[in-house]
Structure 1
Amino acid sequence: MRLKPVPEPPAALAEIAEFQRAVPLVPGSTDDCCARLRDRRDLPNRQRANDWLAFLRTLGLVRETPRGFVRTDADPTPERVREGLRDGVLFVPEALSLLRSATPAEPVTADTLFEATRESVPRHDRARDADWERTWRDRADRLLRWLALVALAAPIEGDGPRSADGNHGGYVAGGALEDA
């Protein structure tokens, strides 16, 4: 099963370690871990903290034990984050496939990724969110920015295309994707 939540990516990969350090070394309940993440990383609410906790777990930076969550000894290297994204985050394989065929003239945008995955958005997400299309377009934008953070995607320079809601322009395959 692949993870759906995709938190706002940090400005730099090194910031992921700060999120990881906000998770305790001694197992703590989900509520305790979310409270620590919210307080230490200035997150607006428990849901955002829970999304980060799940995301860090997918990246192998946090693990769940019978007594709760703990941070792992793993460093948030670009390779680890790339592997976690590829193996555990919903629609990353589709995004990578689109990026492989993208060109500067026809880059991948949040809208492109959303349209390519629209039919695969879980039915219950559509049913519980009246504005699910915007929610999933925003998720596509965050996902592409995560891929760019770890060089799986490269933003188009200059005044490239923007999505309908004004989000970042398009992306093409990044150096790490070309090397893979």
Structure 2
Amino acid sequence: MQPVALMITNGGPHPADKLAASTAWKIVDLVRISDDPIDPKLPDIDRGAIEANRETFRQARTAFEAAIAALLEKHHHDVQHHERGKLKEKGNARLEEDHDHEACGSGLCSEVVALTVGTVLQAHFARPETQARVIEILDSSLGHTAHIERSWHADRHPHDDHSKAFKARHHVETPAVPAA
């Protein structure tokens, strides 16, 4: 099960660093250091190694999370600005198009895994099953980043047919936000 995180924006877009931190948190959550159940999509990790070195694993997780967030901030920023540019270029019709940001989870996964080299997390993140989950998380998070940009756009154009169709398709019922 993937953890759920809520972000409050108070009337503005999510900053890329917050999106990156949320994604990083989901990835490091693939290594649990307590009696919490492990993600059912992953085989059991070496519980004995974790429990014998609990503090080492905690420190590695903390450093790994910060490194992932730093790595991903630019990627979330790039997806946001790509989507904003396309919305500006194509207008409300963009809401009807498929996402065209690269599904870059595979390429980014290797960068994430490289961050674990030489740490107690290396063996776990070298596993194909773990990498498959990392790719799912990355693709989902970057896809949500693009979707959020479209949602903001639709909120600001509530009377447009494309916005109405977008909202109906995604079952989003939000009050209209005045145009900036």
TM-score (norm 1): 0.31
Q: Which has the larger radius of gyration?
A: 2
The structure with the largest strand share of the pair is 1
